Chains A and B, each alone.
Chain A
Amino acid sequence: MSLLEFARGPALQWSITIFIVGVLWRLLGVFLLRTKKDLSEPRNPAAWKGLRLIALRSWPRREFLEGTAFGEVMGYAFHVGFLVSLFFFTPHVLFFADVARGLFGTDLRGLIGVGWPTLPNGIITLLSAVAIAALVAVLIHRFVNPVKRLISNFDDYFSWFVTIAPLATGMAAFSHLAGWPYERLLAFHLLSVELLLVWFPFGKLMHAFTIFAARGATGMIFERRGASL
């Protein structure tokens, strides 16, 4: 079995399995915990309106912007770059279509009702480069900023590595870096994605899911009290 066959076969299957089982385990481990009913008289009975915090907290308050501008800008840069490259790069969309056909016997249009758009390679390349640059910047910031240096642990550095690796290997594969065989570059790219999938449930990448729950819970509690969101 070649490295590419391994990456496309058992490694992919196992990593997806670990990802799904791990994510479910971690989410259920939290969501199945009890929650006490708040018996205080609400100021605003429509606590659900506090769910708007999910959107509100995506942009910092004016009062806080000065101290957090770097983190906000870099955070947006690598999140947007990563997600757009992941979901709108033509080969990725073709790959998702393949997976959809394998799992559900239909292509993406049949599955979600509309065609999945793609972006030109030039835009994807630019956004990927921006994402990599932003990730390098946040790593340097984590080393030099006393607050971040103090509170960082293995999870922060390893999660950074598994996030930048698919971007870097993807760029390498796309540009046929250093004349390496495309198959090998593609295998490395796939393996880096699989590493991300395997690590995802165990580290802070899980914030991709928990961010909605944490913001939503706080929003509803605060809204009920009429407190500041």
Chain B
Amino acid sequence: MTTTTHTRKPEALEFDKPRVSIAKPEYRFDMQGEMPETERVERAMKSFVKDFGRTAAIYMESCIHCGMCAEACHFYEVTKDPKYTPIWKLEPFKQAYKREYGPFAVIYRALNLKAKVTVEQLQAWQQLIYDSCTVCGRCSLMCPMGIDIATLVSQARHGMYNAGLIPHELWAVTERARLEGSPLGATPKVFEDRLEWLADDHEVEIPVDRENADVLCTMSSIEIMKYPDSVVATARIMNHLGVDWTFRLDGYEATNFGLLAGNSAAQKQLTMKLIEAAVSCGAKTLILPECGHAYTALRWMGANMYGEPLPFKVQHIAEFLAEQVHAGRLRLKKVPKSVTFHDPCQVVRRGGAIEAPREVLKALGVELREMFPTRGTNWCCGGGGGVVANHRADELRYKTFRIKMEQIEETGAEIPVTTCANCRQTFDDGQAHFKWDTKMHSLLELVADNLLEDEA
């Protein structure tokens, strides 16, 4: 049996809404390419195990079905629907592992103890793997066996992508990224025009395409298209510090929808652009923007895509700012406000930059009121992992957003701050949806607005 689906051009995008996504989400094409159903399943499973090493196998062998991971998941927390139990989101892949690849696969197949995974099953699981998982990894902190469930979900996404079974929006933006260099239309020409316009408008010098520079700065497409003040803030801070820096039109876009969609080839292509740009200009440091998954994609996966250790240092902008504060180079005006900090999952919980943003806030002299829970166990905004781009997930995402609203309101802080543009647009969208009077702020922009000029 053949499933006929579309092979069409990526959709038009909408930029004037609180979050960026495709323009006509009512027309859904959640199955890509044309191939027999058996091939879809085979592709899904082959791809799932392609990078399947010892660690993933240990995880697969270790689940005791205690169900505790459910308690860590924001999608379960707000719905109490058991299908949102994190480990259940991997059920077809666990089934396939036992039947096809595990140490006792022969027995499972011979006695048919585990049924073959079907394309219908995978289609049904698409919603669990993409709509109701932000790959935030909170469940990975809860699992008493120590299974990193989030990593397994990412691997399952590789399988789903290769089977042509990913949500329409993720497919569309990943295709755009692959074909045009940016998922949200921030092509080199668009970026160049924007930089020119921003430099004129804000009277700030923005170096572009310098042949040699110590520091290569990058931005996320969300910032370029929706939060251009972040671009200006980056330039202001770099200039203020007297850093030898540049943007490069051959590598500026740190957003990596390949990672979110499960498209390894696109992930590598986008990663390599940044690496090659940094190598070209001899950068000693590549600074990643306020973007969570961009941090995972380059800081923790970049060298593995490159095939050798990177010849430059990779830092999230918050880490760079904290380093400058420590070195006494970055001095800031005091901000007499109470602030609460939203921890972006990929930067903090899974990325390890836990204290850097707090050190910058301390330098700003704000009264930091921590949420509960905070740091590594803070709740996700609900929009990570590509979920905010996926219209089908809206209703569910808004439910999870209530957790953040409650958490922030409980602190009584005057302003919430974060250091991830994807979290920020999730907050902006949630704010618009709930007509909430609290606006999320960018740590980067807060710093740029409060630079203390040397009086000497």
Residue of chain B at shortest CB distance from A44: B352
Chain B positions 126-155 with a Cβ under 8 Å from a chain A Cβ = 140-148
- A214 near B377 with CB under 8 A, answer no
State whether the Cβ of B314 lies closer than 8 Å to any Cβ in chain A. yes
State whether the Cβ of B454 lies closer than 8 Å to any Cβ in chain A. no
Chain A positions 204-229 with a Cβ under 8 Å from a chain B Cβ = 204, 206-207, 210-211, 213-219, 221-222, 225-229
Known contacts A68-B142, A228-B348; is-contact A38 B65 (Cβ 8 Å) = no
- A: number of interface residues (CB 8 Å): 59
Is the interface on chain B under 10, 10 to 19, 20 to 34, or 35 or more residues?
A: 35 or more
State whether the Cβ of A151 lies closer than 8 Å to any Cβ in chain B. yes
- A151 near B140 with CB under 8 A, answer no
**CB of B161, distance to nearest CB on chain A (Å):** 20
- B64 near A228 with CB under 8 A, answer no
Known contacts A33-B52, A150-B82; is-contact A206 B354 (Cβ 8 Å) = no
Q: Which residues in B have their C-beta under 8 angstroms from that of A68?
A: 68, 71, 142
Option from B67, B83, B102 in Cβ contact (under 8 Å) with A148: B67
- B145 near A227 with CB under 8 A, answer no
Chain B positions 190-210 with a Cβ under 8 Å from a chain A Cβ = none
State whether the Cβ of B313 lies closer than 8 Å to any Cβ in chain A. yes
| Complex Cα spacing A57 to B143, Å | 8
| Complex Cα spacing A210 to B62, Å | 6
- B103 near A30 with CB under 8 A, answer yes
- A207 near B62 with CB under 8 A, answer yes
Option from A67, A151, A214, A227 in Cβ contact (under 8 Å) with B88: A151
| Complex Cα spacing A47 to B406, Å | 36
- A221 near B148 with CB under 8 A, answer yes
Residue of chain A at shortest CB distance from B304: A39
- In the A-B complex, list the 4 residue pairs whose CB atoms are closest, starting with the nearest: A228-B376, A29-B103, A226-B352, A67-B71
Known contacts A147-B85, A228-B377; is-contact A214 B62 (Cβ 8 Å) = yes
State whether the Cβ of B349 lies closer than 8 Å to any Cβ in chain A. yes
- A150 near B354 with CB under 8 A, answer no
- B61 near A210 with CB under 8 A, answer yes
State whether the Cβ of B403 lies closer than 8 Å to any Cβ in chain A. no
Q: Which residues in B have their C-beta under 8 angstroms from that of A147?
A: 67, 70, 76, 82, 85
List 5 A-B pairs, Cβ < 8 Å. Answer: A34-B53, A40-B303, A41-B309, A63-B377, A210-B145
Known contacts A228-B349, A228-B377; is-contact A40 B299 (Cβ 8 Å) = yes
Residue of chain A at shortest CB distance from B76: A147
State whether the Cβ of B351 lies closer than 8 Å to any Cβ in chain A. yes
State whether the Cβ of B59 lies closer than 8 Å to any Cβ in chain A. yes
Known contacts A34-B53, A39-B307, A227-B352; is-contact A150 B85 (Cβ 8 Å) = yes
Q: Which residues in B have their C-beta under 8 angstroms from that of A29?
A: 57, 102-104
**CB of A21, distance to nearest CB on chain B (Å):** 12
Chain B positions 82-138 with a Cβ under 8 Å from a chain A Cβ = 82-83, 85, 87-88, 91, 102-104, 107
Chain A positions 41-85 with a Cβ under 8 Å from a chain B Cβ = 41, 43, 53-54, 57-58, 60-61, 63-64, 66-68, 71, 75
| Complex Cα spacing A71 to B376, Å | 22
Residues of A whose CB lies within 8 Å of any CB of B are 25-26, 28-31, 33-36, 38-41, 43, 53-54, 57-58, 60-61, 63-64, 66-68, 71, 75, 145-153, 155-156, 202, 204, 206-207, 210-211, 213-219, 221-222, 225-229
**CB of A3, distance to nearest CB on chain B (Å):** 28
Q: Which residues in B have their C-beta under 8 angstroms from that of A206?
A: 61
| Complex Cα spacing A135 to B76, Å | 26
Known contacts A68-B68, A211-B62, A218-B146; is-contact A33 B57 (Cβ 8 Å) = yes
Q: Which residues in A have their C-beta under 8 angstroms from that of B62?
A: 207, 210-211, 213-214
The interface bits of chain B over 335-355 (1 if a CB of A lies within 8 angstroms of the residue's CB, else 0) are 000000000000011111110
| Complex Cα spacing A125 to B143, Å | 32
- A26 near B54 with CB under 8 A, answer no
Q: Which residues in B have their C-beta under 8 angstroms from that of A228?
A: 141, 348-350, 354, 375-377
Residue of chain B at shortest CB distance from A65: B71
Q: Which residues in B have their C-beta under 8 angstroms from that of A156?
A: 65
Option from B54, B82, B308 in Cβ contact (under 8 Å) with A35: B54
Residue of chain B at shortest CB distance from A31: B54
Option from A146, A148, A207 in Cβ contact (under 8 Å) with B145: A207
| Complex Cα spacing A192 to B146, Å | 30
Known contacts A40-B301, A151-B88, A214-B146; is-contact A227 B377 (Cβ 8 Å) = no
Known contacts A33-B52, A61-B377, A71-B66; is-contact A214 B58 (Cβ 8 Å) = yes
| Complex Cα spacing A206 to B58, Å | 11
| Complex Cα spacing A153 to B113, Å | 11
**CB of B39, distance to nearest CB on chain A (Å):** 26
Residue of chain B at shortest CB distance from A226: B352
Residue of chain B at shortest CB distance from A148: B67
| Complex Cα spacing A156 to B302, Å | 40
**CB of B358, distance to nearest CB on chain A (Å):** 14
State whether the Cβ of B272 lies closer than 8 Å to any Cβ in chain A. no
Q: Which residues in A have their C-beta under 8 angstroms from that of B58?
A: 30, 210, 213-214, 217
In addition to A39-B304, A54-B146, A218-B147, 17 A-B residue pairs with Cβ atoms within 8 Å of each other are A30-B61, A36-B53, A36-B304, A39-B303, A63-B377, A64-B141, A71-B66, A75-B144, A146-B82, A147-B85, A148-B65, A152-B65, A207-B64, A217-B146, A219-B146, A225-B300, A228-B349
State whether the Cβ of B215 lies closer than 8 Å to any Cβ in chain A. no
Q: Which residues in B have their C-beta under 8 angstroms from that of A207?
A: 62, 64, 145
